[in-house]
Structure 1
């Protein structure tokens, strides 16, 4: 399974569900008694589940990374565990949910089967389609370069990070009845006044640091070393334009990541 830093999870999940929680309606959170958030990371979704559930509902976070769990433990109880070998008895929860987890697993259906084992009722997966991400930017080259980098990155990732709505296939394999699907678009916008995270992101573009961090994955697909060097040079030039626009407070960017919420019911 791919590993992520607390900073990466904070940056990519920041603000998610702030504008609307309608896509979570199929989770029936208002009548849950015990909920498990698998692959909870630093607990962003766990906190949403806790706030939307009844006061007497217990929400528990579970993740294989104990370092990330330490960031979530101040909000909900947490337990260390692997998504395909959960440390819970059968039917321990009436809802088991994950967010952006299945896309990082080599066998999503195996994890969903394990979710079904420990759930007496519902299983839900909130998974992005990273192949359908869109970017609107005041820097002319940013959207096109981001698409080139994303396509090369996706080509080099060994798991299906475009899973999205196709998570329902894993549910069918796990003998779950899909009862609801919904789409939620997570918009992440940058506009003046720029916060520290936006400034840091612009500096990473200008230095090419982000592409350097992903070099191994980018080269694992069809991208050649020369093509990588050309892409990184263009990326750094684009980043310098971003910085210049930030200086005169004209830079604006919106990234939209589509998530698909699949809810299934355990068969009696």
Structure 2
């Protein structure tokens, strides 16, 4: 599983759910117990708590990230081996998690096991990202770097648009998918994250960090060096434009909110966990104040995770 820093997750999720209409399929106002898998620093967890009276449990594999999540309870755990009994929740959901897992179906099967009703995911398709910039070199350079990154990354960072098929493959029914566009803009006056991002471009930081993936995507070592040189030149142009108060950038990352229903006990011929025992849904496998992973990353201004 790919992992990311708290600062990175907070920055890339800023303003993500200003419009929450795409979350309608989750029927949050009717939920009683919700699990946010791979919660990271808890950006989606916060939305779930604001939109529902349900008990919201946050789970992540990274204890440092998990501590930042504001939830009714927190648990340290693996998305493919959830530390909960069957049917413990009526909604299990993740955001930008599946694109960072080598076996997303295994995670979805676990979601279905611990959910008595609905399974949902919010996943981007990084192949559909659009970048517009007042610096002419930025958009084509970002697309070139992003396409190379997607070709080299070891998980499917484009699966958002095909997530509905994955939910059906693990046996979920009544699958519904909605596209939600997360728009991130930079314009004057510039805040600290925007200024830091410009400095990182001028230093070629992201290209250097993602060099192994870019090489797997088809670039030679020389090719990576050349891309980094172009990236740094573009970054210096961005810094200069910001100094003049003339830089503007718009990036649109398409996310797909996909939800499917778990077969009921009558439909599956089985007995629910609530009928089988009266245990608390949170087993001792997770610490009520520990954590797991959210996931998202820009290759060089994109892949979201």
Structure 2 residue corresponding to 1:64, chosen from 61, 64, 68: 61
Contact 1:39 1:63 (8 Å CA) reproduced: yes
How big is each residue's C-alpha offset from its partner over 1:9-59, in whole Å with a ceiling of 9 and x where there is no partner? 1121111011x11100000001000000000000000000100002xx101
Structure 1 unaligned blocks of 5 or more:
none
Equivalence for 2:246 = 250
Q: Partners in 1 of 2:101 and 2:205 — Cα distance?
A: 26
1:171 and 2:167 correspond? yes
TM-score when normalising by structure 2: 0.85
Equivalence for 1:47 = 46
SS of the counterpart of 2:67?
helix
How big is each residue's C-alpha offset from its partner over 1:57-89, in whole Å with a ceiling of 9 and x where there is no partner? 1011001111110111x4442100100100001
RMSD: 0.9
SS of the counterpart of 1:71?
coil
How big is each residue's C-alpha offset from its partner over 1:227-265, in whole Å with a ceiling of 9 and x where there is no partner? 111111111110000000000100000110000011000
Q: Partners in 2 of 1:49 and 1:259 — Cα distance?
A: 17
How big is each residue's C-alpha offset from its partner over 1:130-163, in whole Å with a ceiling of 9 and x where there is no partner? 1110001000010000001101111111110000
1:22 and 2:18 correspond? no
Structure 2 residue corresponding to 1:93, chosen from 89, 92, 96: 89
Equivalence for 2:146 = 150
Equivalence for 1:231 = 227
Q: Partners in 2 of 1:28 and 1:179 — Cα distance?
A: 14
Structure 2 unaligned blocks of 5 or more:
265-305
Corresponding residue pairs, total: 264
Higher relative contact order (CA 8 A, sep 6+): 2
Equivalence for 1:122 = 118
Equivalence for 1:215 = 211
SS of the counterpart of 1:88?
coil
Equivalence for 1:135 = 131
Contact 2:164 2:175 (8 Å CA) reproduced: no
Q: Partners in 2 of 1:62 and 1:170 — Cα distance?
A: 22
How big is each residue's C-alpha offset from its partner over 1:86-123, in whole Å with a ceiling of 9 and x where there is no partner? 00010000000000001011111111010000000000
Q: Partners in 2 of 1:216 and 1:7 — Cα distance?
A: 22
Q: Partners in 2 of 1:109 and 1:182 — Cα distance?
A: 20
